[in-house]
Structure 1
Amino acid sequence: MRVDPRPEIITETLIHNVVHAFYARVRADAALGPIFESKLNGRWDAHLATMVDFWASVTLRAGRYAGKPHVRHHGLGLAPEHFQQWLAMFEATVNELCRGEAAAALIDRAHRIADSLQISLNIGPKALHFPAFAGGGNARAAR
């Protein structure tokens, strides 16, 4: 019987491997690569370290990430199709590097993050579609 070497639990090493493999795919992607390159040119190492901290915080409760991802994604011209591509690439990466509960947890979290970001950008099927939210506006300030 062949044993599957992919881990079933999330560890710091797994997070590091997923983040680095995923962003290698992103950088090579015709649609997503230029968007990320325009913001991160010359700062990829710092971004990867931040993303490892982010994923460790959302999966292992490491508490190392204190950024504002919703703010960082405004003004990038993102559309629902970008998130679909992002999710497909993320899922492929995760499924290559882990299995079982670890894969399910990472993929579930990625979908929740994608939904949340799209809502904050007022795009996608779950967006609120209130004009005050477009571009990060404040609904209360619009009243």
Structure 2
Amino acid sequence: MRQSPFPTPNPDLYTEEEISKLVHEFYAKARKDPSLGPIFEEHVIDWDAHFVQMTNFWSAQLRGTSRFRGAPMPKHIALPDLSASLFERWLALFKQTTKELDNAELEQHANMIATFIANRLWYGYQMSHNPDIQPVELNTI
């Protein structure tokens, strides 16, 4: 059995309120971003439902809850014209948001997961859209 590269979820380190704040503040930034905003606005039909889904996702990752149900890869692969710079911008905004929350454990854990997710989604996107070309890694510094 393969062990997760992430810290074990811990409900004592992160509150549901912190996770909800992370999700809402991140998407407030992303929706205003000149490169990410138009993509989100075009493809997210119901923002309230999206907030619930993303809060459930991050709660599962950070607190170990089991409310999340979804498959992010197919949804991202279906989007047209994504690029490494868009994934890098998403990650930069995410890291900016976690830093502002002033919880070092949440920042470290969430950023580790977000970096992994950004890389996996970008890799999957490249493999789906350009299977004959060697995938390139994100600049995730």
TM-score after normalising by structure 1: 0.77
Runs of 4 or more consecutive aligned structure 1 residues displaced over 6 Å after TM superposition: none
Match of 2:51 among 5, 25, 48: 48
Amino acid at match of 1:93: T
**Counterpart amino acid of residue 28 in structure 2:** A
Shift of 1:75: 2.7
1:131 aligns with 2:135: no
What amino acid is aligned across from residue 67 of structure 1 in structure 2? Answer: G
CA distance in 1, matches of 2:82, 2:49: 22
Tell me the TM-score normalized by structure 2. 0.78
Higher-Rg member (1/2): 1
Of 106, 112, 130 in structure 2, the residue corresponding to residue 108 of structure 1 is 112
Please give the secondary structure, in 2, of the residue aligned with 1:73.
Answer: helix
Which structure 1 segments of 5+ residues have no match? 1-7, 135-143
Residue 116 of structure 1: how far off its partner (Å):
1.0
Report the structure, 1 or 2, having the larger helix content: 1
Task: Provide the aligned C-alpha RMSD in A.
Answer: 2.4
CA distance in 2: counterparts of 1:17 and 1:53, whole angstroms: 12
In the alignment of these two chains, the number of paired residues is 122
Q: Deviations over 1:22-54 (max 9, x none)?
A: 00001101100000110114x111101110001
Q: Distance in 1 between matches of 2:63 and 2:132?
A: 36
| Residue matched to 1:17 | 21
